[in-house]
Amino acid sequence: MFHRYAIKNLLIATVIAASLSGCAGMNDQQTTVAQGAGVGALIGAGLGYAIGGNTTGTLIGAAAGGLIGAGIGSSVADRKAQYARQEDFLVAEIQRNQEFIREADAQNQQIYQDIAQLDRESRRLAREYRAGKISRDALVRQKATVEKQLATAKKVNSLAEQQLADTNQVYSETRQQRGPQDQYSRQLESNVVKLKETRQQSSQNVASLQQMYDGMSI
């Protein structure tokens, strides 16, 4: 028991240290976003541990929490208001997009891998239940596990849609004001393309998990 709590405390301490050290050299806006992501990761880590009861669950929860934290209290208008120069705002937006894409893609990949494992396990349990080898409770627990993963996938998908909408807005305004060949316009256009791919993957994960969940007979 002590070992489990020691692991949890170590992971939480690591998240805190990473969020604090990451703030060095940042401006106020970047620090706020980083702190929000750190707090979100800390919350997510605690929830992941509570749900999964292991280090894997904790780390997955921290990743989801980081995504959630980075989006807390953040809108295009609010972010833009914190910069005197448009160029500084655009640099921060491009960096924000790149960090989001990196984190969301990692989360999507983890969910994608988990889907295959969940599907195999669900099919195995269904066969054993029909053969009278296991009780109905095993199927109920498995369906609850799928439901939790579905909730995580939906959260990632929702955040990806919001990030894409924000980036589309900034890109459209920048393209109109600075022209399509401007360096910031081109970088934002690239962000839009990558975010569409991220959203597509998250949508596919949601669809796969929803289909699995709906197909589980209890």
C-beta separation of 174 from 157 below 8 A: no
Say how far apart CA 65 and CA 70 lie, in whole Å: 8
The per-residue pLDDT for range 65-116, each reduced to its tens digit, is 565 555 544 789 999 999 999 999 999 999 999 999 999 999 999 999 999 9
For residues 47 and 102, the model is more confident at 102
- The pTM score is 0.71
Cα pseudo-dihedral 158, 163, 164, 169, rounded to 10:
130
The reported pLDDT for the residue numbered 50 is 38
The per-residue pLDDT for range 143-200, each reduced to its tens digit, is 999 999 999 999 999 999 999 999 999 999 999 999 999 999 999 999 999 999 999 9
The reported pLDDT for the residue numbered 217 is 79
Cα pseudo-dihedral 50, 52, 58, 61, rounded to 10:
-90
What is the number of H-type helices and E-type strands within the chain? Answer: 7, 0
